[in-house]
Amino acid sequence: MKRRVLHILIWAGLGILISDLFYRYCFEILAVPTSSMQDTIEAGDYVWVNKMIPGPRFSTNKPDKYRRLRISRPLSYSDVVVFNFPEADTIIDSRPGESYYLLRRKHPNLDSLLMNAGWGKLLTLDVKNRPRMVKRIVGLPGDTIEIRNGLLHINGLFSLEDAAVINTLQWTGQPNELNDILKQAALSAAPFTNNDKLYVQLSDEDLLKLGDHANDLQRESLSVGIPDPFVFPFQRSWGWNADNLGPIYLPRKDDTIDLNPRNFAIYKRMICVFENVNLQQKGESYFIDDIPVSSYTFKLSYYWTHGDNRPRSFDSRYWGPVPENHIVGVIVRKKHGRS
């Protein structure tokens, strides 16, 4: 009897161990809370995350020792990935789902709000404990990313994004016809007005269903030179916005860049926070641990991500590149849940 109980305990322990290893390093089911990937993934969907692409990760908090076990293929364009939110190295304990850095950009008096308005305390999180996001990879390490009039360009060339990507389009036909046209095409998108103009948010897949009526829809984008202070890297004087930004080079591991006042704003957080290097700027000179330097060699590779529901996506346009050690895995399957 004792031997039988021992066998049961051993097999139960092995089962728990295998399940834990499977969860940690192979596959995971994840609920997606937001609509930033609509219509590809709806809010409330459950997704299968394949952690073997790009491979199980180790020493995520130590850039010098970080590595992956390469089991399958590397990441590629259009992969929908799950990753730990890069701006969540610091969070406010009472507002864990919000970006601390975005709150600080919006509220210059944030320290006072934390102390006097009871907003909460600051917490620091290891990489694996940071909230997760789901986005699509549109830029790989070694690419130069640029957005011109809302259109993605990679290495100077226009890049056709996934047909599921939703954009805001202005209707230039008869205003009273749009609702009927959308219904005839079995599209549920709801038109809306802004400054006496009629808009609708549709994907390229949706446009195909409209036939010739698609000619009366024009992509809406912000004008060049209208600055958005909440767009990466938060330099109002650059005049960047969500539809016009870049060029931004995405470093690969072991890439070396020259440091200068123009690119320091882009790479400072990558170097200081993600790669844990004490880099300081003094005038037009740069120092690592008080040693003067003129260049930097990266320890990690970086990716650029967008949400498919472009008008409602908080993505790389607003917080920058994703370090490779933050990426959990690739979504390979989804099923609808309750939103």
Length of the chain, please? 339
Q: In this structure, are strands 122-124 and 90-92 parallel, antiparallel, or unpaired?
A: antiparallel
Measured from the Cβ of residue 223, the count of other Cβ atoms closer than 10 Å reads 10
> Which residues lie across from 295 on neighbouring strands?
258
The reply to whether 81 and 95 lie within a common domain is: no
In a domain, 158, yes or no: no
Domain-ending residue, one of 188, 219, 250: 219
User: How far, in Å, are 198, 209, 217 from residue 184 at the CA level?
Assistant: 18, 9, 16
Contacts of 89 (CB under 8 A, 6+ apart): 124, 125, 130, 273
CATH, residue 312: 2.10.109.10
Contacts of 76 (CB under 8 A, 6+ apart): 137, 140
What pLDDT does 22 receive? Answer: 46
Which tokens in the block code for residue 222?
């912000």
Report CA 279 to chain centroid distance, whole Å: 25
In a domain, 236, yes or no: no
What is the 8-class DSSP label of residue 103? H
d(CA 252, CA 159): 20
Mean pLDDT per 10-residue interval, the chain, length 339 residues: 60 53 67 76 83 94 94 92 96 89 92 83 94 95 96 94 88 90 91 91 91 91 92 96 97 97 95 97 93 97 95 94 97 59
C-alpha closest to that of 126 among 78, 49, 61:
61
What pLDDT does 256 receive? Answer: 98
d(CA 70, CA 203): 35
Domain-ending residue, one of 219, 235, 251: 219
d(CA 27, CA 241): 37
The reply to whether 30 and 137 lie within a common domain is: yes
d(CA 260, CA 307): 31
What pLDDT does 15 receive? Answer: 55
Cis check for the bond before 39: say yes or no (omega within 30 of 0): yes
What is the 8-class DSSP label of residue 131? P
The reply to whether 36 and 139 lie within a common domain is: yes
The reply to whether 45 and 105 lie within a common domain is: no
In a domain, 225, yes or no: no
In a domain, 285, yes or no: no
The reply to whether 138 and 188 lie within a common domain is: no
pTM across the whole model: 0.89
What pLDDT does 339 receive? Answer: 33
In a domain, 47, yes or no: yes
Number of domains into which the chain is organized: 3
**Cα dihedral angle (85, 91, 94, 97), rounded to 10 degrees?**
-10
Contacts of 225 (CB under 8 A, 6+ apart): 239, 244
The reply to whether 103 and 80 lie within a common domain is: no
The reply to whether 170 and 77 lie within a common domain is: no
* Domain span holding position 205: 166-219
Q: Under DSSP, is residue 28 helix (H, G, I), strand (E, B) or coil?
A: strand
What is the 8-class DSSP label of residue 113? H
The reply to whether 39 and 115 lie within a common domain is: no
The reply to whether 202 and 116 lie within a common domain is: no
The reply to whether 182 and 215 lie within a common domain is: yes
In a domain, 116, yes or no: yes
What pLDDT does 14 receive? Answer: 52
In a domain, 114, yes or no: yes
In a domain, 293, yes or no: no
d(CA 56, CA 62): 15
Which tokens in the block code for residue 315?
């993505």
The reply to whether 201 and 214 lie within a common domain is: yes
Domain-ending residue, one of 158, 187, 219: 219
What pLDDT does 338 receive? Answer: 39
Contact 58, 68 (CB under 8 A): yes
For 278-339, give the DSSP string.
Answer: -EEEETTEEEETTEEESEEE-SS-EEEEE-SBGGG---HHHH-PEEGGGEEEEEEEEE----
The H or E element spanning position 135 is: strand 132-139
The reply to whether 135 and 211 lie within a common domain is: no
What pLDDT does 81 receive? Answer: 96
